[in-house]
Amino acid sequence: MAFPLHRMRRLRNHPWTRRAVRETRVGVEDLIEPLFVSEAIRDRKPIPSMPGCFQLSLDHLVEESRQSFELGIGAVMLFGIPAEKDARGSAGYSEQGIVPRAIRALKKEVPGLFVVADVCLCGYTDHGHCGVLEGERLLNDLTLELLARESTAYAEAGADMVAPSAMADGQVAAIREALDGAGFDDLPILSYAAKYASAFYGPFREAAESAPQFGDRATYQMDPANRREAMREVELDLDEGADMVMVKPALAYLDVLESVAEVSPVPVAAYNVSGEYSMVKAASERGWVDGTRIALEILTCIKRAGADVILTYHAKEVAKNLEEEGAGSRR
Ligand code: PBG
């Protein structure tokens, strides 16, 4: 028995039923806001390819984070831009580096904020690759040592979680061991488990000044064509002790996200990356799409596909919008 007995539109007529039967809701509690903190500037510098995003001095980072916290965004992910770079990315694991300083400032000035630190070397190396090189080859096992040191430096500064994104084999195990050895057995690791070699990171590399000076990241990040391989990446990271796993990018990878979320015994994060953000902003600046509605729709769909947590540059905008909606308007 179908039509005319059944009419799907009956429950779509009134805003109350539409809200009551809604299966997925994005809330500020789902979001982590990525922020860029720079040692080289004193104010906030707009990132041209990411309208609404900035490189922030330490003071401005605190200010931005405070605003986000007041909007209900409980977590930020930090990316550092050092004043000096070298071949081994030493500014990334120095205790006096910009990220440890930022973590200390945030813990003091915005208590209650959950501070996640991205762990990678591409922002700190002069060649822009995610680890130590020999010629043009990335040395996996030597890189592990540095990632472990970087994680420990962030933990010592007070980070609430570390998030390794270098796609070095064994990075979760190396970091877990280093953290445990330093007394941080309680600090969780969010692993960028299925991270693809994606053109969607283009604007981020401008923002973080981390573009590789030669070649690309195809020898360590995943081929966008592969899904089965993502499952294996996740499995290995779980064996190494990951507390949460991430799929990145999100939007063009919802199938991967769904597959991971279906089997993952740990919570799953999705990274709505810079290129996804910039495309929405560019089209909305031209008046071609309604940027705020699209952002909320994208995040809702990422959550529908299975994400427990979403990293997004839209965080503030969406938080403001949800607040207004909560204050009375009807959809
Ligand atoms: C560092 C890192 C990158 C992103 C997050 N961590 C860049 C890259 O791998 O090249 C991308 C985030 C974004 O595009 O928003 N390895």
pLDDT tens for residues 179-212? 999 999 999 999 999 999 999 999 999 998 999 9
Q: Is 210 helix (H, G, I), strand (E, B) or coil?
A: coil
Share of the chain above pLDDT 90, in %: 95
| Beta strand spans in 39-90 (E) | 44-46, 54-56, 75-81
Ligand 1 contact via 165 beta carbon (within 6 Å):
yes
Per-residue pLDDT, 94: 96
Per-residue pLDDT, 203: 97
Give residue-wise pLDDT tens across range 107-133.
999 999 999 999 999 999 999 999 999
- The confidence band for 325, taking pLDDT boundaries of 50, 70 and 90, is confident
Ligand 1 contact via 201 beta carbon (within 6 Å):
yes
The answer to whether residue 195 is catalytic is yes
Q: Determine which residue's CA is closest to atom 7 belonging to ligand 1.
A: 201
Ligand 1 contact via 312 beta carbon (within 6 Å):
no
Domains of the chain, by residue range, sit at 25-330
Ligand 1 contact via 118 beta carbon (within 6 Å):
yes
Q: Which fold has domain 25-330?
A: TIM Barrel (3.20.20)
Q: Are strands 114-119 and 75-81 parallel, antiparallel or unpaired?
A: parallel
Return the number of other C-beta atoms located less than 10 Å from residue 321's C-beta.
16
Q: Which residues contact 132 (CB under 8 A, 6 or more apart)?
A: 87, 88, 89, 121, 138, 139, 142, 143, 146
Ligand 1 contact via 35 beta carbon (within 6 Å):
no
Give residue-wise pLDDT tens across range 47-105.
999 999 999 999 999 999 999 999 999 999 999 999 999 999 999 999 999 999 999 99
Ligand 1 contact via 57 beta carbon (within 6 Å):
no
Q: Is 223 helix (H, G, I), strand (E, B) or coil?
A: coil
Q: Which residues contact 231 (CB under 8 A, 6 or more apart)?
A: 259, 260, 263
Per-residue pLDDT, 138: 93
- Check pLDDT > 60 for residue 330: no
What mean pLDDT comes out for the span 223-246?
A: 98
Of these residues, 45, 107, 195, 281, which one is catalytic? 195
Per-residue pLDDT, 1: 78
What mean pLDDT comes out for the span 276-293?
A: 98
Token pair 């906030």: residue: 44
The ligand 1 atom at the shortest distance from the C-alpha of residue 167 is: 16
- Check pLDDT > 70 for residue 44: yes
Say if CB 193 and CB 237 are below 8 A apart.
yes
Closest CA to 117 of 73, 156, 173: 156
Per-residue pLDDT, 328: 59
Q: How far apart are CA 208 and CA 257, in angstroms?
A: 25
- Check pLDDT > 60 for residue 174: yes
Closest CA to 276 of 308, 238, 319, 247: 247
The Cα-based distances of 131 to 83, 118, 233, 234 in angstroms read 18, 14, 19, 21
The answer to whether residue 320 is catalytic is no
- Check pLDDT > 80 for residue 162: yes
What mean pLDDT comes out for the span 163-191?
A: 98
Q: How far apart are CA 77 and CA 36, in angstroms?
A: 9
Q: 13-27, 232-246, 314-328: lowest mean pLDDT where?
A: 314-328
Per-residue pLDDT, 323: 87
Per-residue pLDDT, 143: 97
- Check pLDDT > 70 for residue 141: yes
CA 140 – ligand 1 centroid, Å: 18
CA 180 – ligand 1 centroid, Å: 26
